[in-house]
């Protein structure tokens, strides 16, 4: 059961402790107000500057200054701005401001060992998020000086950036000048070595010489190839002349005869004479004059042809010898030229490194010269990337103290602290005025402690009703102790009729009474619970039973005794409902018929439990207590006040009610920590109890198994754990 708290309870605490709250508020408000008005006003002036990473380009080449280059990424920009923020708050800026404004030795900055540190004490730098803007704040007692110092810091920072750029430019200019001079000397040295190499070998230009020589070799090879081709043609013509036949009609197809007109005419003439001789031989015999004359002409033509062929052969042989002589000459010249080419290649191995050194030095010199010219232009057009967007002006009102804010905060802090102290004192008093430990019952109330029940949340009360399956639980063990102590408190005999009372509402009477009745019914006793709390009945709700007629209906004659008793579903455990509403509940308990009903139930049941309304508010329980064999106090930890409990005890003692002891409900500590409150030891952990507990654990494990679907979950929830036995 959880204790419910409403807003009225808090307001009541504040009402009772109002002077603590008011006193605290007055003290804090007065202290803060006095301190605020006594504090020297501090003024804060603000100048706004912009720090651009990239300057607008007025010249078409790259800046020599690293912060103006375009290669910066996010991390470079972040680190660059962090560096600038630190520079703004550096001693160098403070030194520049002190020197520019001649502040050393002035009243504001007297002769102190470290004036820069004193100046930086009033300086604050605030970057504007998601922009290149920076706010420069300066705080001081004089608004005019605060504005002047803030503007001086902005000016000093711009001067420092400009000086830094000038220094970088001068260093770059000097460096490039030195490098140009050095590279120029290297160029002269390498060029001298290259020229000397060519002069020693009488070469004007190695590449040009190689090109001319390679051209000559190619022309010689072309001429040699042409001569070899002509030689092959001459040899072919000589071969054709060796085996030609004048009688062959294809003789005129030979190239050598086709190109010689004289031979061609003689061969044509011979062919004509040969045909005439052939015809005459067919007509005349050898020696015939007509035949002899053509034969003589034919022989003369053959001799002429043979002479011409011999002349052609001699000419071809002479031409062939000339070609062979020229070919040998060409081969000798080619060999000579190729040797010259080989020498040039060997020269290249030594010459090209010299020439490469010249070219490399020249390229370096050209690059340095270009950068030198760019740097000179930049130095002449140098500007800063820091711009003052807003100059600081004297603030019209002090920045600190903020009197309105301080007074408002003092009111809020005073109210908060006063409220906290009020509740703290209330807590201290509550600790002293309420029951929090078991020993408080015996020391402050002087009644026996029957047991301590751990706190049970309302949402798991249904699981507690079936706690008998978990016989090793702390809740079960606490009720077993209460049962044992009840026996000892009544000289070893458990009273038959027991009334459960409390000084206030919601202290757990129904929970303890119902659970104890379940314990006794499980041990074989017949137990009846009569809900005699006619003002706020809760027994039916505890056992999950629907509302029905009860005690008041029976006493008014509306139902009989057979309809009065209702079974709970647990073996040997029955209940009697309170019944309908009644304007005078206490009068029912003085009805003779109620006395007879108690006697009848006392004979039929081993134990009869009664629940009374809070005795601190109603007298019903006092009337009932005179009919009981024992009265049990239910006290909720930290809620039941000692003065109320003592008053209830006094009333019970005045009428002679048999007080058996008290049960401390709602204990928050670990289970084993409250065993020390019991006066009598009690054994636990029997084998059969452990077995029951293991079975209950298996059911719970099955319930929360990851393979259990909604139907399995509902079935186990209904049948295995929460359903009453039988």
pLDDT at site 681: 36
pLDDT at site 261: 67
The verdict on 675 and 706 lying in the same domain is no
Nearest to 689 by CA among 474, 484, 470: 470
User: Last residue of a domain, which of 326, 355, 384?
Assistant: 355
Helix extents (H) in 201-288: 206-242, 255-258, 261-283
Residue with tokens 């004979």: 603
User: Last residue of a domain, which of 337, 355, 373?
Assistant: 355
* pTM for the structure as a whole: 0.43
- Tally of CB atoms within 10 A around 364: 16
DSSP state of 725: P
The verdict on 350 and 230 lying in the same domain is yes
Work out the pLDDT band at 308, boundaries 50, 70, 90: confident
For residue 36, tell me if it sits in a domain. Answer: no
For residue 124, tell me if it sits in a domain. Answer: no
For residue 236, tell me if it sits in a domain. Answer: yes
CB within 8 Å of 469: residues ≥ 6 apart: 692, 693, 695, 696, 721
For residue 216, tell me if it sits in a domain. Answer: yes
* DSSP states along 299-360: HHHHHHHHHHHHHHHHHHHHHHHHHHHHHHHHHHHHHHHHHHHHHHHHHHHHHHHHHHHHHH
Helix extents (H) in 39-142: 74-88, 91-100, 115-120
For residue 243, tell me if it sits in a domain. Answer: yes
User: Last residue of a domain, which of 355, 378, 407?
Assistant: 355
For residue 483, tell me if it sits in a domain. Answer: yes
The verdict on 548 and 444 lying in the same domain is yes
- Tally of CB atoms within 10 A around 615: 24
Number of domains in the chain: 3
DSSP state of 569: S
Which of 529-538, 547-556, 671-680 is predicted with the least confidence, judged by mean pLDDT? 671-680
The verdict on 333 and 448 lying in the same domain is no
The verdict on 593 and 720 lying in the same domain is no
Nearest to 635 by CA among 622, 649, 621, 650: 649
Q: Residue range 695-703: average pLDDT?
A: 53
pLDDT at site 273: 75
For residue 41, tell me if it sits in a domain. Answer: no
Which of 59-73, 92-106, 120-134, 328-342 is predicted with the least confidence, judged by mean pLDDT? 59-73
The verdict on 726 and 645 lying in the same domain is no
CB–CB of 380/169 below 8 Å?
no
pLDDT one-digit tens code per residue, 459-508? 444 544 555 455 667 777 888 888 888 887 666 678 899 999 998 888 88
Q: Residue range 113-130: average pLDDT?
A: 87
The verdict on 676 and 694 lying in the same domain is no
CATH number of the domain residue 616 falls in: 3.40.50.300
Residue with tokens 């906290």: 420
Q: Does an H or E element contain 172, and which?
A: helix 143-200
For residue 159, tell me if it sits in a domain. Answer: no
The neighbouring-strand residues paired with 527 are: 573, 607
Q: Does an H or E element contain 594, and which?
A: helix 592-604
Residue 55 has pLDDT above 60, yes or no: no
pLDDT at site 247: 60
pLDDT one-digit tens code per residue, 57-70? 444 445 555 544 44
pLDDT one-digit tens code per residue, 195-243? 777 777 777 676 777 778 788 888 888 888 888 888 887 777 777 666 6
The verdict on 336 and 471 lying in the same domain is no
The verdict on 303 and 244 lying in the same domain is yes
pLDDT at site 484: 85
Tokens found for residue 366: 């050209």
3-state secondary structure 612-655: CCCCCCCCHHHHHHCCCCEEEEEEECCCCEHHHHHHHHHHHHHC
Nearest to 578 by CA among 588, 591, 590, 592: 588
The verdict on 544 and 477 lying in the same domain is yes
Q: Edge to edge, what strands does the sheet with 449-454 contain?
A: 449-454, 659-667, 630-636, 497-501, 607-611, 527-530, 573-576, 565-567
Helix extents (H) in 447-571: 461-465, 474-489, 509-522, 539-542, 551-555, 561-564
* DSSP states along 151-164: HHHHHHHHHHHHHH
Domain range spanning residue 284? 206-355
The verdict on 297 and 261 lying in the same domain is yes
- Give CA–CA dist 232/8, Å, rounded: 135
The verdict on 457 and 581 lying in the same domain is yes
pLDDT at site 553: 85
pLDDT at site 726: 34
pLDDT one-digit tens code per residue, 336-371? 888 877 877 776 777 678 778 878 888 888 888 888
Q: Specify the 3-state DSSP secondary structure of 586.
A: helix
- Give CA–CA dist 417/413, Å, rounded: 6
Q: Mean pLDDT across the chain, nearest whole number? A: 78
């Amino acid at each position: 059961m959880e204790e419910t708290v409403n807003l009225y309870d808090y307001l009541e605490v504040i009402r009772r402790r109002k002077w603590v709250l008011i006193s605290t508020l007055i003290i804090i408000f007065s202290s803060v107000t006095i301190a605020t008005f006594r504090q020297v006003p501090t003024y804060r002036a603000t100048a706004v500057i912009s720090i651009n990473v990239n300057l607008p380009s007025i010249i078409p080449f790259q800046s020599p200054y690293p912060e103006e280059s375009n290669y910066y990424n996010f991390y470079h920009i972040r680190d660059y701005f962090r560096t600038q923020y630190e520079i703004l708050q550096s001693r160098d800026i403070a030194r520049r401001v002190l020197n520019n404004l001649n502040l050393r030795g002035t009243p504001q900055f007297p002769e102190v060992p470290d004036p820069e540190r004193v100046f930086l004490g009033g300086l604050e730098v605030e970057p504007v998020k998601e922009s290149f803007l920076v706010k420069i704040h300066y705080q001081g007692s004089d608004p005019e000086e605060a504005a002047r110092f803030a503007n001086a810091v902005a000016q000093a920072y711009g001067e420092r950036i400009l000086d830094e750029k000038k220094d970088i430019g001068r260093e770059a200019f000097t460096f490039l000048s030195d490098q140009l001079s050095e590279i120029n000397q290297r160029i002269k040295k390498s060029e001298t070595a290259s020229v000397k190499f060519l002069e020693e070998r009488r070469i004007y230009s190695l590449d040009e010489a190689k090109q001319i020589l390679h051209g000559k070799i190619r022309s010689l090879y072309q001429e040699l190839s042409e001569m070899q081709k002509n030689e092959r043609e001459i040899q072919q013509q000589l071969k054709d002349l060796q085996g030609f036949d004048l009688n062959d009609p294809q003789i005129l197809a030979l190239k050598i005869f086709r190109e010689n007109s004289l031979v061609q005419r003689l061969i044509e003439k011979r062919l004509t004479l040969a045909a005439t001789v052939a015809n005459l031989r067919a007509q005349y015999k050898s020696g015939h004059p007509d035949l002899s004359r053509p034969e003589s002409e034919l022989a003369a033509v053959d001799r002429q042809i043979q002479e011409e062929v011999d002349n052609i052969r001699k000419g071809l042989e002479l031409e062939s010898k000339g070609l062979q002589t020229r070919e040998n000459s060409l081969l000798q010249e080619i060999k000579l030229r190729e040797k010259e080419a080989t020498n040039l290649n060997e020269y290249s191995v030594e010459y090209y490194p010299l020439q490469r050194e010249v070219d490399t030095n020249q390229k370096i010199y050209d690059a340095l010269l270009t950068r030198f010219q760019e740097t000179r232009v930049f130095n002449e057009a140098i500007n800063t990337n820091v711009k003052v967007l807003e100059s600081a002006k004297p603030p019209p009102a002090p920045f600190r103290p903020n009197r309105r804010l301080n007074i408002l905060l003092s009111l809020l802090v005073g109210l908060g602290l006063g409220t906290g102290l009020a509740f703290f004192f209330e807590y201290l008093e509550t600790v002293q005025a309420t029951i929090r430990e078991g020993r408080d019952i015996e020391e402050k109330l002087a009644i026996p402690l029957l047991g301590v029940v751990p706190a049970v949340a309302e949402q798991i009360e249904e699981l507690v009703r079936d706690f008998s399956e978990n016989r090793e639980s702390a809740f079960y063990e606490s009720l077993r102790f209460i049962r044992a102590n009840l026996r000892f408190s009544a000289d070893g005999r458990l009273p038959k009729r027991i009334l459960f009372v409390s000084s206030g509402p919601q202290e757990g009477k129904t929970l303890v009474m119902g659970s104890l009745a379940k314990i006794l019914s499980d041990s074989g006793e017949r137990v009846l619970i009569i809900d005699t709390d006619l003002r706020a009945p809760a027994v039916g709700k505890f056992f999950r039973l629907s509302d029905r007629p009860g005690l008041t209906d029976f006493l008014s004659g509306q139902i009989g005794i057979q309809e009065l008793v209702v079974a709970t579903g647990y073996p040997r455990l029955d209940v009697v409902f309170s019944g309908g509403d009644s304007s005078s509940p206490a009068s029912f308990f003085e009805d003779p018929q109620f006395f007879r009903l108690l006697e009848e139930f006392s004979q039929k049941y081993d134990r009869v439990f009664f629940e009374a309304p809070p005795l601190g508010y109603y007298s019903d329980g006092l009337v009932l207590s005179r009919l009981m064999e024992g009265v049990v106090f239910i006290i909720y930890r930290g809620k039941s006040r000692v003065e109320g409990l003592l008053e209830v005890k006094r009333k019970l003692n005045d009428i002679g009610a048999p007080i058996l002891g008290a049960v401390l409900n709602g204990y928050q500590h670990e289970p084993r920590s409250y065993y020390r409150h019991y006066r009598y030891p009690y054994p636990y952990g029997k084998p059969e109890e452990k077995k029951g507990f293991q079975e209950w654990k298996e059911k719970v494990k099955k319930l929360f198994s990851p393979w259990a679907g909604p139907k399995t979950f509902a079935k186990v929830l209904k049948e295995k754990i929460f359903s009453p036995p039988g």
